Amino acid sequence: MEFRIEKDTMGEMQVPADKYWAAQTQRSVLNFEIGTEKMPLEIIYGFANLKKACALVNNELGRLSDNKTQAIEKACDAVLRGELDDNFPLVVWQTGSGTQSNMNINEVIANKATEILGGNFNMVKMVHPNDDVNKGQSSNDTYPTAMRIAEVVAVTDNLIPALIQLKNTFYGKSIAFNNIVKIGRTHLQDATPLTLGQELSGYVAMLDSNLNQINDALEYCKELAIGGTAVGTGLNSHPEFSQKVAAMLNSFMSKKYRFVSQPNKFHALTGHDAEVVLSGALKALAANLMKIANDIRWLASGPRCGLAEIEIPANEPGSSIMPGKVNPTQAEALTMVAVQVMGNDATIGIAASQGNFELNVFKPVIAYNILQSTRLLADAMISFDQNCVVGIVPIKENIDRFLNDSLMLVTALNPYIGYDNAAKIAKTAHANGSTLKDEAVNLGLMTAEEFDAAVKPEEMISPKP
């Protein structure tokens, strides 16, 4: 590998000759050889959008020349197109303010902008990473802003569409299966009947509630820290800078994001309660997805020795030793994702509590976990939907058999013979291995005709006047 020499305030560093980063990035590469978790590209793209907006606003305010502004804008666009993805080598485990990642993007944009202006960044820096790309900014306000941009984009563009897709599939199934009467189960024991459609409608309502929670949480994350600079006072920043940057972002990014300047920059730099709220909403979604996935794999258990009330797609062989075995792999993947998201939430909550004085210094780990949870949930919901839920088919004969064999149909007799007599029928039938109808007649509590008139599963699925 060939190297070039780059300098910063601490001296010279050897930097790979084919990369745009400079000395501060290289120092971080050498000083933080920890783990394999790289700074997510979503953060890098958040930074690129931010640096572009900052350059345009600084130009508008008369603080940055036209030629430098145009070069920075073009360099940022190159980052956003993915052309420079291999220039962001830093790991999550760095300084807690994300300073090294801020300087990584500053250096890459500065050198690329110099190149765009026709210069040789090995010789002369026509665009300076600190004085130009980072003008009116600090790592302390740019990193939390970049992570907020990344969070809002990821949730809006990926998570919410995946959630709506899964919810809509369950809604379609709930309508299609609404006339299939089956036995209900509580405490993993037989309960009174409901329809398969009603059962699935509960999942629709759960996911709709999760969607509302996520949308509410997302509003907090649209408030940006930019303009606070080092400690929240806005030193070296223009008084209008923050509001103008938010407006500039909204002008060239999708208007659906609707970024705003966070009103109190002291809160913006040291508090990450917005991420805690968002992570809590993601955890709530994970909890519901865990319940749904477990229900689906229980209902599909079998094929001959389980419940087998529904059939799910057979996507791949389930065993390396048992021929013909098929497993509920999509449900298993989704439940593992749910567990990971719950763990991430604990990390985010603890990290957000560490806002000492004017700065929280756990920002990279908060951002990493939020984005991982968002990405995993979005991917897993799409996979679960496409490879499992859309292919759910009721197994009517098993549903009918369980329904007709259930002792809990006796609940329909309560208004006629009372709870105690109904319990006596159920216990006797269970002990004798007989039917509810036989024991109701044998015990002299009802005639066969009275029993048939009272016990109609299809009439037990809703209240009666």
The catalytic residue positions are 187, 319
Is 130 labelled as part of a ligand binding site? yes
Three-state SS sequence of 177-233: CCCCEEEEEECCEEEEEEEHHHHHHHHHHHHHHHHHHHHHHHHHHCEECCCCCCCCC
Give CA–CA dist 121/200, Å, rounded. Answer: 61
- DSSP for 61-114? TTSS-HHHHHHHHHHHHHHHTTTTGGG---BSSS-TT-HHHHHHHHHHHHHHHH
List Cβ neighbours of 73 (8 Å cut-off, separation of 6 or more): 52, 55, 56
Is 341 labelled as part of a ligand binding site? no
Identify the H or E element spanning 420: helix 419-432
Is 261 labelled as part of a ligand binding site? no
Is 138 labelled as part of a ligand binding site? yes
Give CA–CA dist 274/253, Å, rounded. Answer: 21
Alpha-carbon separation of residue 34 from 94, 97, 278 (angstroms): 9, 17, 27
Amino acid in the structure at residue 106: N
Closest CA to 221 of 174, 280, 170, 285: 280
Q: In residues, how long is the chain?
A: 465
Closest CA to 141 of 271, 240, 334: 271
Is 387 labelled as part of a ligand binding site? no
Strands (E) across 347-453 are located at 355-356, 359-360, 393-394
CB count within 10 Å of CB 96 equals 18
Cβ–Cβ < 8 Å for 97, 370: no
Is 389 labelled as part of a ligand binding site? no
Is 124 labelled as part of a ligand binding site? no
Is 272 labelled as part of a ligand binding site? no
Is 139 labelled as part of a ligand binding site? yes
Is 186 labelled as part of a ligand binding site? yes
Rounded to 10 deg, the angle between the 66-80 and 99-116 helix axes is: 110
Is 452 labelled as part of a ligand binding site? no
Is 129 labelled as part of a ligand binding site? yes
Is 140 labelled as part of a ligand binding site? yes
Numbered residues of the known binding site: 97-99, 128-131, 138-140, 186, 320, 325-327
Numbered residues of the known binding site for substrate: 97-99, 128-131, 138-140, 186, 320, 325-327
